[in-house]
């Protein structure tokens, strides 16, 4: 038999062996795109990570916006509290969700270090189980590695209604339609669009609309504008985004210039 014949027979034998091996033991579960895609979808959005120090107390809070990346997931984070880095320091991360719903994100180098975050996504999202963090070259004392308490905040989206109470005790009924964007900006911060209606209020000639906003972790700040009049409001919101607790609002311009107070807005149906 010539050289060509032996090569043909060898290829046929090897092909048969490999086919038999895969038929007996190869698994199609090495990567499960459908499962990973479903789990990855629950990881998208607004997160707040509490990084524990050596004594177990919260050493820093990192807020993070997660989005779809070119391959897997991408995220932008910043230090919202504690640590030794200013909030203006942005951290870019990338990673993926494994077949067992394990999330792993690793940052690009920043401030002489890198940050890795890992944990198991809860069913339906909302939190990370067994979550940990690790700096490769800690930027802050007491922030080398440790556990993470991670919370995922639902998007502020829908119709909200409630009351704004002024410093004099006057109560004004307020309704608002708000829609949070699906992706964070370059600082890992989300924004909303929408408008509000203030019942029986002479403060606004027309319905004010959102002209500026920031959402980071459970904190929100919005500016509503109607002509020359602005209302700035800031506060916090629940993890399911059903309630917005306005800890401070103030009007600038117009007949109600200087009016300020607090308020609560509840999502319709909650």
Residue 123 in this model has a pLDDT that exceeds 80 = yes
pLDDT: is 172 or 137 the higher one?
A: 172
**Average predicted confidence (pLDDT) for the chain:** 86
Nearest Cα residue to 249 out of 268, 229, 228, 269: 229
pLDDT tens-digit readout, 173-188: 999 999 999 999 999 9
Answer whether 230's CB lies under 8 Å from 209's CB: no
Banded pLDDT at 83 (limits 50, 70, 90): confident
Q: Which two tokens stand for residue 20?
A: 């038999």
Q: Alpha carbon of 142 to those of 50, 116, 139: distances in Å? A: 14, 16, 9
pLDDT at 14: 35
Q: Alpha carbon of 48 to those of 115, 149, 208: distances in Å? A: 15, 8, 30
pLDDT: is 150 or 137 the higher one?
A: 150
Structural domains of the chain, ranges and CATH numbers in brackets: 33-153 (2.40.128), 157-267 (2.40.128.120)
Helix ranges (H only) for 30-183 are 33-43
Banded pLDDT at 25 (limits 50, 70, 90): very low
Residue 143 in this model has a pLDDT that exceeds 60 = yes
pLDDT tens-digit readout, 240-250: 999 999 999 99
Answer whether 262's CB lies under 8 Å from 246's CB: yes
Summarize the confidence of residues 105-122 as an average pLDDT.
94
Q: Alpha carbon of 30 to those of 38, 69, 72, 168: distances in Å? A: 16, 22, 16, 64
Summarize the confidence of residues 28-40 as an average pLDDT.
54
pLDDT at 58: 92
Residue 86 in this model has a pLDDT that exceeds 50 = yes
pLDDT at 121: 95
pLDDT at 29: 34
Summarize the confidence of residues 147-155 as an average pLDDT.
97
The residues with which 143 forms a beta bridge, in sequence order, are none
Query: Rounded to two decimals, what is the model's pTM?
Result: 0.83
Residue 247 — φ and ψ, nearest 5°?
Answer: -85, -20
Q: What's the Rg (C-alpha) of the chain?
A: 26
Summarize the confidence of residues 186-191 as an average pLDDT.
94
pLDDT at 84: 78
């Amino acid at each position: 038999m010539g050289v060509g014949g032996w090569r043909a027979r060898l290829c046929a034998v090897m092909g048969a062996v490999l086919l038999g091996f895969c038929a007996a033991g190869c698994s199609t579960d090495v990567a499960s795109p459908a499962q990973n895609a479903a789990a990855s979808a629950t990881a998208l959005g607004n997160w707040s990570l509490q990084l524990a120090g050596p004594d177990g107390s919260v050493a820093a809070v990192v807020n993070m916006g997660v989005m779809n990346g070119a391959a897997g997931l991408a995220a932008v984070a910043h230090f919202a509290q504690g640590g030794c880095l200013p909030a203006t320091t942005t951290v870019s991360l990338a990673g993926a969700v494994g077949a067992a719903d394990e999330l792993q994100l690793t940052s690009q180098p920043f401030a002489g270090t890198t940050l890795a975050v890992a944990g198991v996504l809860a069913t339906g999202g909302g939190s990370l189980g067994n979550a940990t963090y690790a700096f490769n070259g800690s930027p802050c004392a007491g922030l080398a590695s440790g556990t993470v308490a991670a919370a995922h905040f639902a998007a502020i989206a829908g119709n909200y209604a409630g009351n704004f109470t002024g410093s004099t005790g006057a109560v004004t009924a307020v309704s608002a339609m708000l829609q949070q964007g699906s992706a964070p900006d370059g600082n890992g911060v989300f924004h909303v669009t929408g408008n509000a209606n203030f019942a029986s209020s002479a403060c606004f000639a027309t319905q004010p609309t959102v002209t500026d906003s920031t959402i980071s972790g459970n904190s929100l700040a919005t500016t509503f504008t109607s002509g020359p009049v602005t209302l700035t409001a800031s506060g916090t919101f629940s993890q399911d985004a059903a309630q917005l607790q306005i800890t401070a609002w103030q009007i600038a311009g117009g007949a109600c210039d200087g009016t300020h107070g607090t308020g609560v807005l509840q999502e319709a149906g909650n």
